[in-house]
Structure 1
């Protein structure tokens, strides 16, 4: 059994990246964790063959856009296709929102972070990306986070208050 199936559920976010060409991309991520309160750092891991990792190597900035349970379809689409040959903003019917401090756009979600890459370290078959949060967008403090169980399975928290 894969570790992702043993350690669940995990919050789901859309990772926003851009390459040097300026074309934005979205990818579903759930291997996410807070690192520090002050300064505020977050980390996620990504497989090095992903198009989003290619973008991060070109432009060391990203957004993390945390999804609500009503946005499950966005996670499914952005996790199923590669941005190498698909425009996921168009596929999802999303308009990129111009970020305040980084190049990649944010997506309308309850919470979004604009981040600068601080470090990338290859660990096993993934790369750990640590980012400094430069800007926060908190649109709703009270929301039901979408959780990832594994593969294409998502769930909502029960009894969370």
Structure 2
């Protein structure tokens, strides 16, 4: 079948919009910020990903309004402070992540609500989730206003530059790689569904297939 989402987001036979159920899996952007008054905030975002490696850049979309009206605390805090932290969500933190997605009043600390311990960062003021397998300290690069939703709700794209990375020692292998099976990162699917990365396979690229190659060794 074919349909135009501008005409209908869920034409028959769909009972829900299939859009988010087919652009999957999506990493969960568990974003911590802090207000100008020093109040921490932590919230998960399903529209999130890495967008560049050199320099490392991340992007996420804090769409819609806060339940009490106005901009979401995450977007407001980043607008004011120009900083945020991405915390990697492992399977062991699924319930805490879900708790931080709930309707929390303005000015209330979601880390306290979810029973999470905070830890200071090196270069930015927002705290990180202490027990997360990894946390990326980010400075704001740009906020882009996207087209508003069909009911007028705002959509934004926040782009950040990674300026510091914390990695838990126990997820680093002796070969100097990240052991993804120890982290078991969560991914967002459609509806209320999630997935977990606990297995993978490897495909080597064809010769000259776009991987950065080391410079040739010059003979003496």
- Note whether the superposition's TM-score is higher than 0.5: yes
1:23 alignment partner, one of 31, 34, 39: 39
Q: Deviations over 1:74-132 (max 9, x none)?
A: 22111122351532111111121001000101112111100000000011242111111
1:1-161 alignment to 2 at 5 Å? 1=17, 3-47=19-63, 49=65, 50-82=72-104, 84=106, 86-107=108-129, 108-125=131-148, 126-139=155-168, 140=171, 141-142=178-179, 143-157=183-197, 159-160=199-200
Gapped regions of structure 1 (runs ≥ 5): none
| Structure (1/2) with the larger strand percentage | 1
Q: Give the Cα separation in 2 of the matches to 1:38 and 1:85.
A: 35
List structure 1 runs of 4+ shifted beyond 6 angstroms: none
Deviations 1:38-84 (A, max 9, x none): 11111111115222111111111000001111111122111122351
Larger radius of gyration: 2
C-alpha distance in 2 between matches for 1:85 and 1:150: 30
Asked which structure has the greater RCO (Cα within 8 Å, sep 6+), the reply is: 1
- Distance 1:15-1:2 versus aligned 2 partners, 3 A rule: farther
Q: Which runs of 5+ in 2 are unaligned?
A: 1-16, 66-71, 149-154, 172-177, 202-220
Q: Shift in Å at residue 2 of structure 1?
A: 5.2
Report the TM-score when normalising by structure 2. Answer: 0.68
TM-align CA RMSD = 1.7
